[in-house]
Amino acid sequence: MEIGVEQLTVVIDGRTILNRVSLACRPGTVTALVGPSGAGKTTLLNVMGLLLRPTAGRVRVGGTDATGWGSRQRRRFWRDHAAFILQDYGVIEEESVAFNVTMRASLLRGRVAGDPERLRAVLAATGLEGREREPAVRLSGGEKRRLGVARALYKDARVIFADEPTASLDERNRARVIELLVSLARQGRTVVVATHDEAMARAADSLYALQRA
């Protein structure tokens, strides 16, 4: 599923954060959004994930103009097609690792649900094996980040939006997360990453450099 923006402008409180940005993120590739702190990487990622409405310009999802989508259409996109790895982790701290990974199924049932085999596989892939029952609050920052990656892997989404997915990780886990994101792209998914990490940027198929406005 291709995610594209055309002539995208975002103005917040009278300040232009993004000015006529156009880019297309294609299935089967990793696109890295790079640039200095405050350049608007997170803002662009949020607009592409339909979390934030642009001031002007268009957002395209799979060739359809999604700029004017209402909450029903956006919710359907988030539910069925998108996975987010967020900078503030986006975990429910009082719930277990297993609950957080299988979030959707577990929220629906009010207890840990989903496919245990798949859960084990994604925890192994993210170095969280054996941690299923631990409350997320007990994880370190880097472990929470990997939990976010595990959740995105578990969801099997067509589009993955990742905001600084390798921040606060040690070398080994950083390499592991980069490899996982690249392999998700190789499976035909669209991966969009906002990053300061040079190794992450080098692993991407295309780079989009933002400047501070």
Q: Which two tokens stand for residue 136?
A: 């997320």
Of 19 and 73, which has the nearer Cβ to ligand ATP? 19
Residues 145-204 touching ligand ATP, rule: CB under 6 A, are 194, 196
Binders in 11-50 for ligand ATP, by CB under 6 A: 12-13, 17, 35, 37-43
Q: Which of left, alpha, beta for 128 (phi over 0: left; psi -120 to 50: alpha)?
A: alpha
Nearer to ligand ATP, 128 or 204 (CB): 204
Give the shortest CB-202-to-ligand ATP separation in angstroms: 18
Give the CA-trace dihedral at 54, 57, 59, 62, to 10 degrees: 170
Integer Cα distance of 193 and 20 in angstroms: 20
Least separation in angstroms between residue 118's CB and ligand ATP is: 31
C-beta closer to ligand ATP: residue 153 or 178:
178
End-to-end CA distance of the chain: 30
Pick 40 or 148: Cβ nearer ligand ATP: 40
Token pair belonging to 118:
């798949």
Rounded to a whole number of angstroms, the minimum distance from the CB of residue 35 to ligand ATP is 6
Yes or no: say if 17 and 43 are a contact pair by the CB < 8 Å rule: yes
Instruction: Give the interface with ligand ATP as residue ranges (CB under 6 A).
Output: 12-13, 17, 35, 37-43, 194, 196
